[in-house]
Every structure is written in structure tokens, then in C-alpha cells.
Amino acid sequence: MIDKKEIAATYQQIQDEICSGLEKADGAEHFEEELWSREGGGGGRTRILQEGNVIERGGVNFSAVYGKLPENIKKAFKVDENDFFATGVSIVIHPGNPWVPIIHMNIRYFELNEETRWFGGGIDLTPHYVVPEDAVFFHQYLKKICDEFSPAFYQRFKDWADDYFFIKHRNETRGIGGIFYDRLQPEGTGLDYEHIFDFSKALGRSFLPIYTELIAKSKDKVFTAQHKEWQYLRRSRYVEFNLVYDSGTKFGLETNGRIESILMSLPPQARWKYNYQTPRDSEEERTLSWLKKGVDWVGIS
């Protein structure tokens, strides 16, 4: 029988593994760690790598917090319990080269009591320039992981990601999606909590092989000032989503989380241009054409 201490300890180990692997992939800088405590209970380890050879800014954060659940969160979760425990690892990497995509991953566990607890998480890719073969690689990797636990997981969680990572006011997806799930429990999955935890761990440990492959492929690719300008514009979309729609950001702010750790997902630099229009038949226009729900990346040959 797994318990919250075991889950938190495993998530810390995954944080260590990912930080070590990203430092090797970057080849220049190391993560700086800040330990923090939350007023009300718990704390975490914020790790940030900045101005590296590959990573312009990246955060790999662990937290395990507990305390009293705010009334607005209780209403959102439709629960009556007061005490909560939440632990997880959250990652956002903003690369310097526009041909290397932004990546986000989160694995988390939430508990009110033995009867009310669940896992959540996901991983998604936000390329500045969509390269179809990279998108196929990414989605096929995720499907393989999902299929090890349930043949229904990939399509269900892929559709969930398409719906979740959608910038409604722009009518476009944040990137090429991935998988996303929340409140995953034995009911409706055919799995017990131990196997759902195994799925969470497998997802967490998929991060390094996926992202190091994408880094190795594109980190030395030549880019122009136009490519860099587009990268800044795409980063602005990322900011808009995280500040307007992201539930993790909202939960952290509303439960008195640490501001610096919550907002580490924001890029070091982004730009907004009034009424920007992509040049016709450009790489930028082709990228926008892919930013929509329902693309069958696994089925693309």
C-alpha cells in the first residue's frame, strides 16, 4: 500500500534524475537550488538553470505541501474536507535556440483522506517551429508509455491535452499537445493506486529520453534574427496561457504557494506585437497551421 511519504520521496528522486540529465545535456551550467517553506505547512526544492549552453531558463521544482484547503478550492474540487496534502514535480524548459521546443511536464498527487485522493499530470511540447517528424516522435513515445498501462489512456489523455492546452482567446493550441490527466483514480481506469503511481513514475521518467533527443537534434541548428523574433512572439503565447488558464498556477497562488517557484514557468524574454501577421507561405505560417486540436500525430507517416 503506497502512502504520501513514499510518493513524495519518489518524486524527489525523479527531480534529482532529471536535473542531472539536463545538466549533461546543457553542457555548461548547473541548477541552483533554493529550499523553501510554506506558511501553513510543507515546502519544496526550487531548482533553476539559467543562461546555459542550451537552456536559457529552466525550472525543475519539487513540492510537498499540506494544510487547510481554501474555501474557493473546496468549491472547485466539490469537497467538504478541510485538510489537504499535495506533492509533485513541475518542469518548464525555455531553450535558447528557436529550433529546440519549449517543454512542460508535471506529475502530482493530491490527498484529502484515504477515500479522496488522486494523481494528475502530463507532458506537452510547445515548438516555436513545428517540425512534424519531431511531433510524431514525441507522440509515439507517449503512446508507448500509455499503452503499457491501458490501451485507452493515450487517446483519452491526448484529447484532454488538446482541450486543456488551448488558448481560447487566440483560437489556437499552445503547441502540439501531448497528454494530460487529472483526478486519476482506480474507478474508471481498471488500475489500483499502485499501478496508477507506476504510470506517474513512468511518465516522469520519460522526460529525459524525450527531451535530450530533441535537444541533440536541434541545439546546433543555425537560426536568424527572424527566427529569434518569432521565438519571442511564441513565448508571449505561452505566458498568456499560463497566466490566464493554467490550473496549476491558479492553485499555487490560491494556496499561498511560493511566487518565485510558481512563476518560474515564464520565459526570460517575450514580446507582443500589435496585430502581427505571419508572412505568406512562411515557416511561421506553417507552424500556425499545426496549432489546432485533433491532429493525429501518431498516424502521420
- Residue 68 has what pLDDT? 84
Give, in order, the Cα–Cα distances in Å from 234 to each of 7, 37, 81, 115, 246.
Answer: 35, 34, 40, 42, 17
Domains of the chain: 4-290 (3.40.1500.10)
* Positive or negative torsion for Cα 22, 26, 27, 29: negative
Q: Which residues pair with 89 in a beta bridge?
A: 62, 107
90 close to 123: Cβ distance less than 8 angstroms: no
| pLDDT tens for each residue of the chain, 301 residues long | 789 999 999 999 999 999 999 999 999 999 999 999 988 899 999 999 999 999 999 999 999 999 887 777 777 777 777 788 999 999 999 999 999 999 999 999 999 887 789 999 999 999 999 999 999 999 999 999 999 999 999 999 999 999 999 999 999 999 999 999 999 999 989 999 999 999 999 999 999 999 999 999 999 999 999 999 999 999 999 999 999 998 888 877 877 777 887 888 899 999 999 999 999 999 999 999 999 999 999 998 6
User: Positive or negative, the Cα torsion across 44, 45, 51, 55?
Assistant: negative
DSSP 202-245: HHHTTHHHHHHHHHHHHTT----HHHHHHHHHHHHHHHHHHHHT
- Straight-line distance from the first to the last Cα atom of the chain, in angstroms, rounded to the nearest whole number: 43
Among left, alpha and beta (phi > 0; psi -120 to 50; other), residue 41 is left
pLDDT at position 301 is 64
Q: Is residue 106 within 8 Å of 179, Cβ to Cβ?
A: no
pLDDT at 83: 84
Strand, helix or coil for residue 144: helix
Radius of gyration, CA atoms only, the chain: 19
Looking at residue 25, its amino acid is A
Give which of 93, 74, 72, 90 is closest to 82, Cα–Cα: 74
Sign, CA dihedral 210-182-197-60, equals positive
Burial zone of 270 (CB within 10 Å; 0-12 exposed, 13-18 middle, 19+ buried): middle
pLDDT of residue 72: 73
> Exposed (0-12), middle (13-18) or buried (19+): which is 180, by Cβ within 10 Å?
buried
Residue 190: how many other CB atoms lie within 10 Å: 10
Distance, in Å, from the CA atom of 193 to the CA atom of 2, rounded to the nearest integer, reads 8
Q: How many residues does the chain have?
A: 301
- Region of 166 (left: φ > 0; alpha: ψ -120 to 50; beta: rest) is beta
104 labelled catalytic: yes
Angstrom distances, CA of residue 265 to CA of 19, 195, 246, 270: 16, 29, 11, 12
Active-site residue among 30, 94, 104, 227? 104
Contact partners, residue 245, CB within 8 Å, separation at least 6: 166, 167, 168
